Chains A and B, each alone.
Chain A
Amino acid sequence: MWDNIRRIVSYFSARAVLLLTTVVVAVYLIIIIANMGGYMDKIKESEIMEQVYNTVRGNPALQRLSPSELRAILDKEIEIAKRRAGLDKPFFPWRSLEYLARGITLNFGRAERMISDSGSNQVRLILLERLPHTLLLWGVADLLVFFTSVFLALALSRRYGSLVDRVAVALAPASTPPIWFYGILFILLFASVLRVLPYGGFVDAPPPKTTIGYALSVIKHMVLPVLSVFIAIIFSSLYSWRTFFLIYSSEDYVEMAKAKGLSSRTIERRYILRPTLPPIITSFALMMISLWMGGIVTETVFSWPGLGRMLYEAIQQVDTPVIVGANVIYGYLLAITVLLLDFIYAALDPRVRLGGARRS
């Protein structure tokens, strides 16, 4: 018993350290890449100079100063702007390590350029304001796709070669176009031509005054993005799950169960679903944490105020604290999920042992 606990704790600790190291390395790489290895400082300095020097144009008050007076004023402005942008300290090693330390300890602080929708520069608020919208859209869409495809695939795998199965297989290439393609198509069809659904956004403008009215309006705005995600993914997802279940359906123990005369439902539940649960749960868990990143293009096509668009803006503006904040959370979520999945595998599948079997 104690041996088992010690083995599990030791395994857990080793995995945790390994995963944490991976997260730290990944985040530091992101910091370096986002800042172009420190070259971003030069870009920011140029932008500051450009902005400050532009103020001279069309400003007779500045133009009537002597060159030295003008230079002194502009230099002061540049210095203030550079200090504000943190450019008074070198990127390597101090600022890069400072970003890392703050990110890893979840002390995200304040953004360098970005402002949350409500006007706050706290990275926490920048992320949290967008989170509910992303969870709502991608949560609904992904859960719909996941459960529909798993259950339909299971049913199809039991009807291998039937007309329904052949139609489903034939439709698999329909998932080739990306989500945004369907998005634009549906906007064209339902918003532009038929005029029955909105072009995008989160809610009607101006928003309805009542809670029910507001909720209904949000649902109306979700129809097209959810439909786009669903149509773009469902067929390939269905096809891959069907193939996956088919492989398990032809296992010897399933044939044996059939030979024993067990009902289809029992075979599905006990002999197919049970052993396939670990990969299904893995897929489900990874899907859930992917919600954190939202979808850049889809959110843009539908003007959906989600995390994907926010992250895209952060990358465009090279707002390192926001980029680090979003990625650190994703990294931690991924690491925790991977760690938990190890335990879940062991619980679900008796063939899996944490820490490996002791060799005799």
Chain B
Amino acid sequence: MRKFWVLLLVAMFGLGAWAQVRNGAWVDEVVFQVEADAAKGLDMLRTGAIDLYWWDISDPDLVKIIVSEFNYAQLAGTYNELTFNPYGPEFKDGRLNPFSVPAIREAVNWLIDRDYIVSEFYGGLTAVPRYFCICPFFPDYARYADVARALELKYAHNPEKAKAVIFEEMQKLGAELVDGKWYYKGQPVELIFLIRVEDERRQIGDYVATLFEQLGFTVTRLYKTSREASPIWMRGDPAEGQWHVYTGGWITTVVARSEADNFGYFYTPRGSGSPLWQAYKPSPEFDEVCEKLWTSDFTTLEERRELMTKALELSMKDSVRVWVVNQLSYQAYAKNVQVAADLAGGISGAYLWGLTVGFVDPATGERLVGGTLRTASSNLLVDPWNPIDGSNWIFDMTPIRATGDWGVVFDPYTGLYRPQRIERAEVTVQEGLPVGKTLDWVDLKFAPEIKVPEDAWVDWDAANQRFITAAEKYPEGLTALTKCVVYYPEDLWSVPLHDGSTLSLGDFIMYIILRWFDRAKPESPIYDEAAVPEFESFMEYFKGVRIISTDPLVIETYSDLWYLDAEWIVTTWFPYYPQGPGFWHNLAIGIKAEAAKELAFSADKAQTLGVEWMNYIAGPSLEILEKHLDEAIATNYIPYEPTLGQYVTPEEAATRYANLKAWYEKVGHFWVGSGPFYLAEVRPVEKILVLKRFENYPDPATKWLIFAEPRIPTAEVTVPAPVLKIGAPWDFMVEVTFKDQPYPVEDMDFVSCILFDAEGNLVYSGRAEAVKDGLFVFSIPASVTATLPAGPIRLEAAVVSKVVAVPSFASAEFTAVK
């Protein structure tokens, strides 16, 4: 018997130890297939035919099934609004446009009942009311939750007030109400609603149209698809009055750390060259605020807060857009699956999905090692894969991301960057810029001036294939607003690639050349005019790059681009291109093919040349790429030899090409990554793709397990007594938990509390103090309570965690008496 227990213990420890040392992915294999019908996808999930359905579902009936039967990721990146045509008061043909009056647009906020829309059209599950151009699930809303909540109460549903304002303004415009109908110059006042038909915007459009009919307007409803509506509202001249209201919809696919620019984008002509945007005439005060936020013209976070507060208030007064709902979509997976999901982009939007996805024991919640994860989505293999300018479809980017690795990765719950392949970074910012940091891996400093060293590379000479230094291009000297130094670990050059090669400095140099410079230079054999606009905007802020040390690798970058978060300023130059991982040797054959005008990295150039859009994984491109690989092997080709030749030896070139050839013969494609999965099988017509675990991946599987589920806090407010005496100190307790466990104080950002009177006016606000893990106290001194009004008071607490951007809210009511 003792033997048995010993053996059992050995086995248990053995398994535990094995799980500990497991590198890379938790599962052995991920299979992708297509199922466009969400209802069928969920049924497949129910019967175990698949384990994960990673397409967004927002149909309330299906969401009810998801919530009750499966694990799920919630996405909050889609939002709907009413866009108004602001031209007027009269269109070119003399018709009246009531929405040229800001007060009437503002009154629409009171007219519509967002709660009704949420419960009636979204089943109460797939949307929440939205009042502003900032997302209620993103950090900016959390930062200014007190301001936002006060405005939400101010603009809560109040049809009587809306009617009074609209009627008053209509009379000012010279319109007359005759037998319950509005007339202007003897003609009924007609409102043309451009209603999108693809989703709930149809019901929203009908609902708002009916409200206006009830107010005496004559409403014409034009039901249009995106395509049909676009030429009318986006491209048409607002002065012609082809429409008054359009049911707009927008999407954000990653958690936006700052949404300050949204005011400039949505309310001023800065946002777009479209005729509609050019018709926007914000008040001078609002315009100034928008401009400052648009250009980040502020120096402290307090100044930013003031600007944001003003912008929120003035955007409601302007209301060329009335925000209606923030949609919630769901991606479903089996109860025995865990995976990181981005709060805006879901599982498919999370860079870390490949490193976190795995099975769990449903009984114990313990992570299991191995297994095949079967997934489905509504599409796959939509466009050709190439790292430079290949498919950008989320259906393709999801598997692509799992094959790649990064210098830093997106935290799916806060939108901050975290170090993946780099060890640490130092960021220096010019004094006066309101940059802060949240995480320890970044060292933030400020300097009065940041000079760019003379030997920094600032541009690329495509004709001679060499970098241009700062001294050559800017002999008078050059300064930058930020400097970032990234430190890679000592074992960087042993990081394995899927084809058996190891990472080398050549991959970084190639990245610098190819990511921004060479394709935008007319002298380059792979010049692509489609790359020029992006390059030009890059050169507006890029000030230089310098390799400080090659082993260990240290790279210094100078730039005029800055963000509020220092983590965002870090530039790693790790060879992960916009559309996937790429290394100098597999990109070299693509460069050769494009230079020979046989293939092209971008769809634009392929179209111009009349050749195939380069595809590294299937189709006619493979034969051409193979031919160029054979040529590269024969000549031991090193691309950009005058520069890259200094970093890549002929031996390395020979080894790399031999590895690539063997890889192609083994797997039948040229897609090489360094991520936790490699592309094992591609069936383009069948729309099936198989990723297998890359056994040599250097990091332990547990590295990002903290992101396996979002730790969204739950809050509860306790009022000391239902009746509180004015003039006495008040203490309110705010309990913060996650899964009924106290939320650690070190993971909390802040708890903000706001008091509203019976009319919804903000009477007091402040921050709560941490008492211990999971407990905060909001104290109001007697001197303050003495100034508060008597009567019912509502206390709202906004709880913001450092590890999840989504704020949580709790409220309680009490009565204040003298």
Contacts and interface: CB of A to CB of B under 8 A. Distances in A.
Interface centre among A39, A119, A129, by most chain B C-beta atoms within 10 angstroms, is: A119
Given A56-B272, A58-B256, A80 B530 contact: yes
A64 B296 contact: yes
Interface stretch (B42-50, B171-179, B185-193, B703-711): B42-50
A350 interface: no
Given A199-B44, A206-B31, A303-B35, A77 B261 contact: no
A119 B230 contact: no
Interface stretch (A65-73, A88-96, A163-171, A262-270): A65-73
Interface in A21-75: 39, 42-43, 45-47, 49-50, 53, 56-65, 67, 69-71, 73-75
A63 B230 contact: no
A50 B32 CA distance: 31
A201 interface: yes
B265 A121 contact: no
B34 A303 contact: yes
Nearest to A203: B686
B686 A207 contact: yes
A110 interface: yes
B604 A115 contact: no
A206 B617 CA distance: 17
B683 interface: yes
B597 to A, nearest CB: 15
Interface in A182-210: 187, 191-192, 195, 198-203, 205-207
Interface string B519-546: 0000000000110110011101100000
A117 interface: yes
A294 interface: no
B235 A205 contact: no
Contacts of A351: none
B272 A205 contact: no
Nearest to A85: B607
B613 A115 contact: yes
Interface string B272-302: 1110010000000000000000111000000
A117 B44 CA distance: 24
Contact of B610 (A110, A118, A205): A110
A199 B607 contact: no
A159 interface: no
Contacts of B29: 206
Given A80-B530, A203-B686, A121 B36 contact: no
Contact of B533 (A64, A77, A120, A199): A77
A198 B541 CA distance: 54
A133 B686 CA distance: 9
A50 B36 CA distance: 26
Contacts of B739: none
B563 A60 contact: yes
A73 B536 CA distance: 8
B147 to A, nearest CB: 22
Contact of B687 (A71, A110, A305): A305
Given A56-B271, A195-B47, A201-B33, A65 B537 contact: yes
A71 B533 CA distance: 11
A56 B274 CA distance: 13
Contacts of A130: 685
Contact of B274 (A53, A61, A300): A53
B296 A60 contact: yes
Contacts of A43: 227-228, 230-231
Given A119-B385, A201-B33, A49 B685 contact: no
B606 interface: yes
Given A61-B561, A206-B31, A303-B35, A201 B686 contact: yes
A207 B270 CA distance: 52
Nearest to B48: A195
A49 B374 contact: no
Nearest to A45: B235
Interface centre among B272, B537, B681, by most chain A C-beta atoms within 10 angstroms, is: B537
A47 B230 CA distance: 7
A118 B262 contact: no
B619 A116 contact: yes
B666 interface: no
A6 interface: no
Contacts of B277: 53
The size class of the interface chain A forms with chain B is: 35 or more
Given A49-B234, A207-B686, A125 B382 contact: no
Interface in A319-348: none
Contacts of A195: 47
Given A63-B295, A75-B273, A199-B35, A46 B40 contact: no
Interface residues of B, number: 76
A53 B610 CA distance: 27
Interface in B1-55: 29, 31-37, 40, 43-44, 46-47, 49
A186 B44 CA distance: 14
Nearest to A111: B607
Given A53-B271, A56-B272, A42 B613 contact: no
Interface centre among A59, A115, A187, by most chain B C-beta atoms within 10 angstroms, is: A115
Contacts of A206: 29, 31, 681, 688, 690
B364 interface: no
B574 to A, nearest CB: 20
Nearest to A309: B36
Contacts of A39: 231
Nearest to B607: A84
B74 interface: no
Nearest to B690: A206
Contacts of A122: 612, 620
Contacts of A7: none
Interface in B682-729: 683-688, 690
A118 B49 contact: no
Contact of A119 (B374, B383, B560): B383
Nearest to A70: B270
B234 A119 contact: no
Interface in B116-137: none
A75 B536 CA distance: 13
Interface centre among B31, B277, B563, B612, by most chain A C-beta atoms within 10 angstroms, is: B612
A65 B296 CA distance: 12
Interface in B720-773: none
Nearest to A132: B685
A303 B33 CA distance: 10
Interface centre among A50, A53, A64, A77, by most chain B C-beta atoms within 10 angstroms, is: A64
B536 A121 contact: no
A353 interface: no
Contacts of B687: 117, 201, 303, 305
Given A56-B265, A73-B536, A207 B47 contact: no
B384 interface: yes
Contact of A61 (B234, B374, B537): B537
Contacts of A116: 619, 684
A119 B684 contact: yes
Contact of B40 (A121, A200, A205): A200
A78 to B, nearest CB: 8
B331 interface: no
A120 B227 contact: no
B541 A61 contact: yes
Contacts of A274: none
B321 to A, nearest CB: 14
Contacts of A73: 533, 536-537
Given A121-B613, A305-B685, A115 B532 contact: no
Given A118-B619, A191-B43, A207-B688, 9 more contacts: A49-B274, A58-B261, A59-B537, A60-B562, A74-B273, A84-B607, A119-B617, A119-B621, A207-B681
11 contacts: A56-B272, A63-B261, A64-B295, A71-B273, A74-B273, A80-B530, A81-B604, A109-B610, A117-B381, A192-B46, A300-B36
Q: Which 9 A-B pairs have the closest CB atoms?
A: A118-B619, A119-B615, A119-B384, A46-B230, A53-B272, A117-B684, A119-B619, A205-B33, A118-B618
